[in-house]
Amino acid sequence: MVAVDKSKIARQFVEAIPHAVALGMRFIDLGDGEAEMTMPYDTRFIGDPKTGVLHGGAVSTLMDTCCGAAVISHPACASGTATIDLRIDYMRPATPGQALSTRAVCYRVTRSVAFVRATAFDDDKSRPVATATGAFTVEGRVS
Partner 1 sequence: MSTTPSVNRRRPEPVQQIKQRRDMALNALVQGVPYIQFLGVEFDRRGDELTAILRFDDKLIGNPILPALHGGAIGAFLEITAIIELSWSLLWKDMETGVLDLSTLEAGNLPRLPKTIDFTVDYLRSGLPRDAYARARVARSGRRYASVNVEAWQDNRTRLFAQANGHFLMPEKAE
* Contact residues for partner 1, defined by CB under 8 A: 16-22, 43-50, 54-58, 60-65, 68, 80, 82-90, 93
Q: How far is the CB of 105 from partner 1 (least distance, A)?
A: 18
How far is 22 from 110, CA to CA, in rounded Å?
A: 32
Residue 16: its H or E element: none
Q: How far is the CB of 86 from partner 1 (least distance, A)?
A: 5
Q: SS3 for 135? A: strand
75 or 93: whose CB is closer to partner 1?
Answer: 93
Give 65-118 as a 3 state SS string.
HHHHHHHHHCCCECCCCCEEEEEEEECCCCCCCCCEEEEEEEEEECCCEEEEEE
Q: How far is the CB of 109 from partner 1 (least distance, A)?
A: 18
Q: How far is the CB of 1 from partner 1 (least distance, A)?
A: 26
79 φ, ψ (degrees, to nearest 5):
-145, -145
